């Protein structure tokens, strides 16, 4: 049986929690199993992941350990990390990188002494040092959606398909700016962005990145014409909102490694 490693979370949204649990499943090894710590768990958590922009997360970051207990490493999500944070991450979040930070005994952001009270290894350091130099670049996704909650949901769904590298934008102009600066495997684009019509943006996207082969669109109520245009344009699909998770997941699982 693999050894269980518990992580306490505080202030994370349901979408973030789902993404973290998905990352746990992806990086699980034969000797280790990662779990969310809950009250009543007999073992202390090895690390704490808190959302610094939530009141619950800030309270957890300020909490003191019980007498005689060692405080688990603090992983801070958001800006203005406290000095006690072992590592901090700004959004969008690479959850696999967050998990690696929990185990790395050397790369604290808080100075040479940060984290000295807790010296443990979750098995990532050696693996990180032995990644082949010719490993292909990670699949990267661009999420274009004006709704923050929908972006979080989409990011969680992406994580379930091992698509953890994702950037987020809210307008068509930002889509084109990102595409000019970065190559993406998939564009996950809502057709109701505030500054441009969805099909107009699609034409602009193809002009900037003609080789972008995977585009999935979302829309509140796709019309018959939208579905017909999908077939002619090379877009993988247009999905109605609210999204059906199984349909989206099926499309994401088809993205090649």
Tell me the fold of 3-129. Rossmann fold (3.40.50)
Identical topology for domains 3-129 and 140-252: yes
Q: Is 212 left (phi over 0), alpha (psi -120 to 50) or beta?
A: beta
With the CA atoms of 240, 171, 142 and 55 taken in that order, what torsion angle do they form, in degrees rounded to the nearest 10? -90
SS3 98: helix
pLDDT (tens place) for every residue of the chain, 257 residues total:
667 778 899 999 888 888 888 777 766 554 567 788 898 888 888 889 999 999 998 888 888 665 555 678 889 999 988 888 888 998 888 887 787 777 654 444 443 333 333 333 434 444 444 444 455 557 899 999 999 888 888 888 888 888 888 899 999 999 999 999 999 999 999 999 999 999 999 999 999 999 898 999 999 999 988 888 888 888 999 999 888 878 888 898 888 87
Neighbour count for residue 95 (Cβ, 10 Å): 23
Could you say which DSSP state residue 84 is in? Answer: T
CATH code of the region 140-252: 3.40.50.2300
**What contacts 257, CB < 8 A, 6 or more positions away?**
139
Which pTM value belongs to this model? 0.52
The pLDDT of residue 172: 95
Q: Please choose, from the candidates 104, 10, 84, the residue with its C-alpha nearest in 3D space to the C-alpha of residue 51.
A: 10
CA angle 90, 94, 96 (to 5 degrees): 135
SS3 236: coil
Q: Please choose, from the candidates 176, 172, 179, the residue with its C-alpha nearest in 3D space to the C-alpha of residue 145.
A: 172
Ordered by start, the domain boundaries in the chain are: 3-129, 140-252
Instruction: State how far the Cα of 101 lies from the Cα of 88, in Å rounded to an integer.
Output: 9
Q: Please choose, from the candidates 94, 84, 88, the residue with its C-alpha nearest in 3D space to the C-alpha of residue 16.
A: 94
Q: What digits encode the pLDDT tens for the residues 134-150?
A: 555 578 999 999 998 88
Residue 243: phi, psi to the nearest 5?
A: -70, 140
Instruction: State how far the Cα of 99 lies from the Cα of 146, in Å rounded to an integer.
Output: 28
Instruction: State how far the Cα of 6 lies from the Cα of 36, in Å rounded to an integer.
Output: 6
Instruction: State how far the Cα of 17 lies from the Cα of 39, in Å rounded to an integer.
Output: 16
The pLDDT of residue 26: 65
Q: What digits encode the pLDDT tens for the residues 76-85?
A: 999 988 888 8
């Amino acid at each position: 049986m693999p050894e269980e490693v518990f992580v306490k979370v505080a202030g994370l949204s349901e979408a973030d929690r789902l993404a973290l649990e998905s990352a746990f499943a992806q990086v699980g090894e034969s000797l280790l199993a990662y779990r969310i710590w809950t009250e009543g768990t007999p073992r202390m958590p090895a690390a704490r992941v808190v959302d610094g922009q939530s009141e619950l997360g800030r309270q957890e970051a300020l909490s003191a350990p019980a007498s005689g207990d060692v405080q688990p490493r603090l992983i801070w999500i958001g800006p203005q990390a406290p000095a006690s944070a072992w590592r901090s991450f700004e959004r969008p979040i690479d959850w696999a990188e967050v998990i690696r930070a929990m185990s790395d005994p050397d790369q604290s952001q808080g100075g040479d002494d940060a984290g000295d009270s807790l010296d443990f290894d979750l098995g990532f350091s050696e693996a990180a040092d032995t990644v082949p130099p010719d490993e292909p670049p990670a699949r990267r996704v661009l999420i274009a959606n004006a709704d923050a909650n929908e972006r979080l949901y989409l990011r969680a769904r992406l994580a379930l398909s091992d698509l953890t590298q994702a950037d987020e934008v809210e307008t068509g102009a930002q889509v084109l700016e990102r595409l000019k600066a970065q190559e993406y495997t998939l564009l996950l684009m809502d057709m109701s962005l505030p500054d441009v019509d969805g099909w107009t943006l699609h034409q602009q996207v193809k002009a900037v990145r003609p080789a972008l082969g995977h585009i999935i669109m979302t829309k509140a109520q796709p019309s018959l014409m939208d579905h017909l245009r999908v077939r002619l344009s090379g877009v993988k699909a247009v999905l109605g909102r609210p999204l059906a998770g199984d349909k989206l997941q099926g499309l994401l699982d088809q993205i090649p490694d």
